[in-house]
Structure 1
Amino acid sequence: MGSHVKGKILSPQSPNGAHLYCPFVLMSFFSVYSVFWQNTDDSRRPRGLRRINTPLSSSSGPDLPVSLVMLFPPVGQIRITRKADGIRGFLLIWRRDGNTPTSKQLPPCNLSEEDLLQNPHFSKLLLSLSQHMDESGLSLTLAKEQAQAWKEVRLHKTTWLRSEILQRVIQELLVDYYVKTQDRNLTSEDKKFHETLEQRLLVTELTQLLGPSQEREVPPLLGLEKVDLLELMPPSEDFVWMRARLLLEVEEQLKKKCFTLLCYHNPSSDSDSETLKAAKVWNLAEVLVGEKQRCQDAKSQQKEQMVLLDKKSATYSQVLLRCLALLQRLLQEHRLKTQSELDRINAQYLEVKCSAMILKLRMEELKILSDTYTDEKVEVHRLIRDRLEGAIHLQEQDMEKSRQVLNTYEVLGEEFDRLVKEYTQLKQETENKRWALREFNKACS
Structure 2
Amino acid sequence: MSAGPESTHGSSLGKGDGLHQQVLASFPLCDVTEDDLTQNPQFCKLLATLSQHVDQTGLTVPLKTELEKTEQKLQSQRRHWLHSESLHKGLQEMIQDHCIRKQHAAVPPDQSMFYETMEKCLLVAQCVRQLDPSSATNQDQPSVLGLNPQQILELMPSEKNVQRMKQGLPRELEKHLKKKCLSLLAYYQPEWESESEGLKNSKLSHLSAQLDTEKRRAENLKETCRENSVLLQRQTQLYLSD
Aligned to 2:71: 150
Matching of residue 274 in structure 1 with residue 187 in structure 2: no
Residues 117, 157 of structure 2: 8 Å contact kept: yes
* TM score, norm. by length of structure 2: 0.76
Aligned to 2:31: 109
The runs of 4+ residues in structure 1 deviating greater than 6 Å are: none
Find the aligned partners of 1:216 and 1:311 in 2 and give their Cα distance: 55
> Which deviates the most, 260-269 or 134-143?
260-269
Q: Deviations over 1:192-251 (max 9, x none)?
A: 1122112222222222222289x7574x44443433333332222211111121211111
Find the aligned partners of 2:19 and 2:127 in 1 and give their Cα distance: 70
Matching of residue 185 in structure 1 with residue 123 in structure 2: no
From the superposition, tell whether residues 108 and 221 of structure 1 become closer, same or farther in structure 2 (CA, over 3 Å). Answer: closer
Find the aligned partners of 2:241 and 2:132 in 1 and give their Cα distance: 70
Aligned to 1:412: none
Aligned to 1:77: none
Consecutive unaligned residues in structure 1, runs of 5 or more:
1-96, 320-445
Say which of 85, 93, 97 aligns to 1:176. Answer: 97
Query: How many residues were matched structurally?
Result: 220
SS in 1 for 2:193: helix
Find the aligned partners of 1:230 and 1:299 in 2 and give their Cα distance: 50
Kindly, what percent of the aligned residue pairs are identical?
34
The one-letter code of the counterpart of 1:229 is I
SS in 2 for 1:186: coil
SS in 1 for 2:180: helix
Find the aligned partners of 1:118 and 1:257 in 2 and give their Cα distance: 62
From the superposition, tell whether residues 145 and 279 of structure 1 become closer, same or farther in structure 2 (CA, over 3 Å). Answer: farther
Find the aligned partners of 2:221 and 2:141 in 1 and give their Cα distance: 56
Greater helix content:
2
Residues 28, 56 of structure 2: 8 Å contact kept: no
The one-letter code of the counterpart of 2:59 is L
Q: Deviations over 1:151-198 (max 9, x none)?
A: 222211111111111111111121122222222222211121122112
Aligned to 1:224: 147
Q: How does 1:131-150 map to 2 (within 5 A)?
A: 131-150=52-71
From the superposition, tell whether residues 204 and 304 of structure 1 become closer, same or farther in structure 2 (CA, over 3 Å). Answer: closer
From the superposition, tell whether residues 197 and 115 of structure 1 become closer, same or farther in structure 2 (CA, over 3 Å). Answer: closer
Consecutive unaligned residues in structure 2, runs of 5 or more:
1-15
SS in 2 for 1:271: coil
Q: Deviations over 1:124-167 (max 9, x none)?
A: 32122111111111112111211221222221111111111111
Aligned to 1:210: 131
* TM score, norm. by length of structure 1: 0.44
Aligned to 2:172: 249
The one-letter code of the counterpart of 2:53 is H
Aligned to 1:163: 84
The one-letter code of the counterpart of 1:210 is L
Q: Deviations over 1:83-104 (max 9, x none)?
A: xxxxxxxxxxxxxx88544114
User: What is the CA-CA distance between 1:308 and the residue it aligns to?
Assistant: 3.8
From the superposition, tell whether residues 98 and 289 of structure 1 become closer, same or farther in structure 2 (CA, over 3 Å). Answer: same
From the superposition, tell whether residues 121 and 246 of structure 1 become closer, same or farther in structure 2 (CA, over 3 Å). Answer: same
